Amino acid sequence: MKILIAVVVMLIASSSNAFACPVCFGAEETSMIEGTRLGILVLLGLTLAVQGGFFAFFLYLRNRAKRIADIDLENEWSELQGGASRS
């Protein structure tokens, strides 16, 4: 059993070029490398767009809460002013 584990570790840890794909091994510029780069850029763009959407949504919620708090404050102030003039 120890020999089998040692052989597996040696195969995994060895620097054999047989396990490397052309992209990982450092092939020249090919359409596969260009496609990979484009895929990475698309995924980064999508991730940034989703995060931007969350950020914009939370800003919207914060502004809405401020607006509602201002309206409540105005209503309370007008009630206080109306109560003071009646006395």
**Per-residue pLDDT reduced to its tens digit, 20-73:** 666 566 666 778 778 888 999 999 999 999 999 999 999 999 999 999 999 999
Asked if the model's pLDDT at residue 16 lies above 70, the reply is no
Domain count of the fold of the chain: 1
Question: Where does the pLDDT of residue 87 fall: very low under 50, low under 70, confident under 90, or very high at 90 and above?
Answer: very low
Higher-scoring residue by pLDDT: 41, 8: 41
Cα separation, 20 vs 17, in Å, equals 5
Cβ burial 61-83 (10 Å sphere, 16+ → b, else e): eeeeeeeeeeeeeeeeeeeeeee
**pTM value?**
0.53
By residue range, what is the domain housing residue 61? Answer: 2-86
The predicted pLDDT at position 38 comes to 92
